[in-house]
A and B are shown apart, each in its own frame.
Chain A
Amino acid sequence: MEATINNPTVVERFTKVGFEPGFARYSDWASAINKETAEMKQIAQTAGIKED
């Protein structure tokens, strides 16, 4: 996947549509997801964000 994303042709095509390419491997996906979810939950609770 890293080689796919870093292919110059892919980078150029991403850039043209406004997507900023940047491959990053997850050392611990579960922890990263749980951490961001907790942060988003806090924002949601503070702001009263509810599902549409």
Chain B
Amino acid sequence: MSFWMKTTIFAAAFAAAAMFGGANLALADDYPERPLQLVVPFPPGGASDVVARIIGGELEARLGKPVIVMNRPGGGTTIAGKEVARAAPDGYTLFFSSNSTFTLPAAVKEIVPYDAAKDFEPLGQVGKITLALVTYKDNPIKDLAALVAEAKANPDKLSLASFGAATVSHFAGELFKSSAGIKMVHLPYKGSAPAMNDLIGKHIQYHVDTVIAVKPQPDAGTVRVLAVFSAKRTPYLPDVPTLAELGYSGIDFASWGAVVTPKGDFRRPYGTS
């Protein structure tokens, strides 16, 4: 093997070790020698899929091998979680998901087909998607204080939709209701688009969705954003106050994303340590 080849391979292995987060991680000199797969628990085209493809493209450029995004939707993300948890910990299976996989299922399901705390090895949290509380544009209730007052005066009369039962949208709404000490009727939808359509059509009064779904609406003048659930204002809606600013200081909730691998020691398959 030439000096140039050794140097190149060492550089690739060092880059991979650095990428996978630890100076103690000693992958084989020839890693990666085949394509990697990046599993996503959602169908193609959604925000998570788009983010995963950005990550996959960058990893591919750095590692010099294809990184194939594998969409494995279903089971509220647990089908993909189970598949990755049982995959070989050889450094060739990566998983991009969120609290929708790692914490929410165990909070609501009797049986989850993996233990997120034990079955995955984190490469790192990579970012988040902020959630927002919205209403239709000409709702006479103009701000959060008025909403809380109205809900206290009329328990279980106002509706608060989510883009799905037991999703981050649902949890965020319940967190707000609990913090405010109010009761509103939860309306679970099958996805963001139908909920947003019904909000714009005034069939529902309030809704929690991601800023990705919400952002085009105030620009188009169709909805009003009352607050965001992040600790700090989001650059996507800089004029919208946080719930903390409005008096609910304990609320800092988002859909966070992380890249993980199956739990295990990458070094073992290569016999390098």
28 of the cross-chain contacts (CB-CB < 8 Å) are A1-B19, A1-B20, A1-B126, A3-B18, A4-B62, A5-B124, A7-B58, A10-B58, A14-B54, A15-B235, A17-B47, A18-B47, A19-B127, A19-B257, A20-B128, A20-B234, A20-B236, A23-B124, A23-B125, A26-B122, A33-B102, A33-B103, A36-B103, A37-B103, A43-B178, A50-B166, A51-B76, A52-B165
In the assembled complex, B90 has its CB within 8 A of some CB on chain A: no
Contact of A43 with B175 in the complex, beta carbons under 8 Å: yes
Question: Size class of A's contact patch?
Answer: 35 or more
Find residues 104-133 in chain B having any chain A CB closer than 8 Å to their own CB.
104-109, 116-118, 120-130
Complex interface: chain B residues within 8 A of A24 (CB): 124-125
Contact of B128 with A3 in the complex, beta carbons under 8 Å: no
Produce 1/0 per residue, A1-37, CB < 8 A to B: 1111101011001110111111111100111011011
Checking B58, B99, B170, B178 against A9 with a beta-carbon cut-off of 8 angstroms, the contacting residue is: B58
Q: Nearest Cβ distance between residue A26 and chain B, in whole angstroms?
A: 4
Complex interface: chain B residues within 8 A of A4 (CB): 19, 55, 58-59, 62
Complex interface: chain A residues within 8 A of B178 (CB): 43, 46-47
In the assembled complex, B152 has its CB within 8 A of some CB on chain A: no
Q: Which residues of A contact B (CB under 8 A)?
A: 1-5, 7, 9-10, 13-15, 17-26, 29-31, 33-34, 36-37, 40-41, 43-44, 46-47, 49-52
In the assembled complex, B69 has its CB within 8 A of some CB on chain A: no
> Do A43 and B127 form a contact, CB below 8 Å, given A18-B210, A19-B47?
no
Name B259's closest neighbour in chain A (CB-CB): A1
Checking A5, A22, A46 against B174 with a beta-carbon cut-off of 8 angstroms, the contacting residue is: A46
With most chain A CB atoms within 10 A of its CB, the pick from B51, B117, B123 is: B117
In the assembled complex, B212 has its CB within 8 A of some CB on chain A: yes
Q: Which residues of B contact A (CB under 8 A)?
A: 18-21, 47, 50-51, 54-55, 58-59, 62, 76, 99, 102-109, 116-118, 120-130, 164-166, 170-171, 174-175, 177-178, 186, 188, 210-212, 215, 234-236, 257-259
Complex interface: chain B residues within 8 A of A15 (CB): 235
Contact of B125 with A43 in the complex, beta carbons under 8 Å: no
Complex interface: chain A residues within 8 A of B121 (CB): 29
Complex interface: chain B residues within 8 A of A43 (CB): 107, 171, 174-175, 178
Checking A5, A20, A51 against B235 with a beta-carbon cut-off of 8 angstroms, the contacting residue is: A20
Contact of A14 with B51 in the complex, beta carbons under 8 Å: yes
CA A3 – CA B259 in complex, angstroms? 13
Q: Nearest Cβ distance between residue B170 and chain A, in whole angstroms?
A: 6
